[in-house]
């Protein structure tokens, strides 16, 4: 795993160029993995936790096994099982055991990446705790499975207040190094939209990013949109503009794209009696200005309002 140390430089310019504004987190992850620690990446959705790990692993040519964490991830699915048909003919032989992702990563000395770890059942977490503590696993009828050199667990989780999440026990935190990942700066998010979205005028893109960032600060919004909302908004606006024969930056095209891209991504306060579409429209007008009238000489394709990328910085 020491080859990961050489990845700290290339991560920003080589195979991991997709990681924008995460130089510090890249260094911390590389150092933690290189020293043999297991890592917990914690942050809101859309902050690049999976992208960060994939980029670091690619830069260091380190294989990893991906596991989607959910309520149906039982210990059996994580560890593996004996093939029933072959057991009938050959018995409980190690040759008929089908490795699950955990055993696969342990045998190969790979990274095991568990996404959404705070959605995983407690009995499954207990299996991971044992492996992190002892570096081995005891499977009935199979025996001891030691973890090969290089095996690391990297788990990602959203904040506890996200829907469907549970508190992670102190036993998990005690066995991991924790790296927190918040939202990036307005400029970094604009750069991500450039990287992932179609070409649009820079000032309008900056206003789109500003709009998305404002969803995280509105008093009626409990959870706002990540930068994925900005990427989808730009993509939708470009597609709609082709269908309508208008510019992507026109007021109505942008509004419809914003309503579709953002209304499902914002989670309102329980006491709020408003609809998500109403919040998105309010913020859209705040950034892009009121809807132009027929006698308004202003060109619709020109960004208006008090937007810019500074609103949520």
Q: Mean pLDDT of successive 10-residue segments in the chain (313 residues)?
A: 45 51 91 94 89 87 89 93 87 89 95 92 93 93 92 87 68 92 93 94 97 96 94 98 96 97 93 94 97 63 47 36
Q: What is the pTM of this model?
A: 0.79
Rounded Cα gap, residues 152 and 140, in angstroms: 23
Q: What integer pLDDT is reported at residue 64 of this predicted model?
A: 87
CB atoms within 10 A of CB 20: 22
Rounded Cα gap, residues 86 and 205, in angstroms: 58
pLDDT digits (tens, 9 = 90+) for 77-111: 999 999 898 888 888 888 889 999 999 999 999 99
Question: What are φ and ψ of residue 306, in 5° steps?
Answer: -100, 25
Q: Domain residue spans in the chain?
A: 2-180, 186-288
The reply to whether 2-180 and 186-288 are identical in fold is no
Rounded Cα gap, residues 287 and 3, in angstroms: 47
Q: What integer pLDDT is reported at residue 311 of this predicted model?
A: 40
Q: What integer pLDDT is reported at residue 91 of this predicted model?
A: 82
Orientation angle between helical segments 276-288 and 251-262, nearest 10 degrees:
140
Q: What integer pLDDT is reported at residue 15 of this predicted model?
A: 40
CATH code of the region 2-180:
3.40.50.300
143 Cβ contact list (under 8 Å, min separation 6): 94
Direct distance between the N- and C-terminal alpha carbons of the chain, in angstroms, rounded to an integer: 37
Query: Which token pair is 28?
Result: 């911390």
Question: What are φ and ψ of residue 80, in 5° steps?
Answer: 130, -175
Between vectors from CA 213 to CA 210 and to CA 218, what angle results, nearest 5°? 115
Q: What integer pLDDT is reported at residue 205 of this predicted model?
A: 97
Domain 186-288 -> CATH class = mainly alpha
- Contact assessment for residue 79 and residue 137, using Cβ atoms and an 8 Å cutoff: yes
- Contact assessment for residue 273 and residue 177, using Cβ atoms and an 8 Å cutoff: no
DSSP string, 34-57: HTT--EEEE--TTS-HHHHHHHHH
Rounded Cα gap, residues 95 and 142, in angstroms: 10
Q: What integer pLDDT is reported at residue 296 of this predicted model?
A: 55
């Amino acid at each position: 795993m020491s080859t990961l140390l050489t990845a700290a430089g290339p991560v920003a310019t080589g195979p991991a160029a997709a990681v924008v504004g995460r130089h510090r987190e890249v260094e911390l992850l590389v150092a933690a993995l290189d020293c043999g620690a297991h890592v917990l990446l914690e942050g809101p959705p859309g902050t690049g936790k999976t992208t960060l790990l994939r980029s670091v692993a690619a830069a260091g040519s380190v294989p990893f096994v991906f596991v989607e964490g959910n309520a149906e991830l039982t210990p059996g699915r994580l560890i593996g099982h004996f093939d029933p048909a072959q057991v009938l003919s050959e018995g409980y032989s190690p040759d008929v055991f089908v490795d699950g992702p955990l055993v696969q990563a342990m045998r190969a000395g790979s990274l095991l990446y568990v996404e959404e770890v705070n959605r995983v059942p407690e009995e499954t977490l207990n299996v991971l705790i044992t492996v992190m503590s002892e570096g081995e696993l005891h499977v009935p009828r199979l025996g001891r499975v030691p973890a090969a050199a290089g095996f690391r667990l990297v788990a990602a989780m959203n904040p506890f207040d996200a829907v469907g999440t549970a508190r992670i026990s102190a036993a998990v935190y005690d066995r991991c190094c924790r790296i927190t990942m918040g939202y990036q700066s307005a400029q970094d998010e604009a750069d991500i939209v450039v990287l992932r979205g179609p070409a649009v005028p820079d000032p309008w893109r900056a206003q789109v990013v500003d709009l998305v960032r404002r969803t995280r600060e509105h008093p009626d919004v409990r959870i706002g949109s990540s930068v994925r909302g900005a990427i989808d908004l730009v993509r939708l606006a470009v597609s709609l503009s082709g269908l309508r024969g208008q510019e992507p930056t026109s007021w109505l095209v942008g509004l419809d794209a914003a309503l579709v891209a953002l209304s499902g991504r914002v989670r309102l306060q329980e006491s709020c009696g408003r609809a998500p579409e109403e919040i998105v429209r309010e913020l859209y007008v705040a950034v892009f200005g009121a809807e132009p009238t027929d006698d308004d000489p202003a060109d619709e394709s020109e960004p208006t309002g008090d937007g810019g990328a500074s609103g949520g910085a």
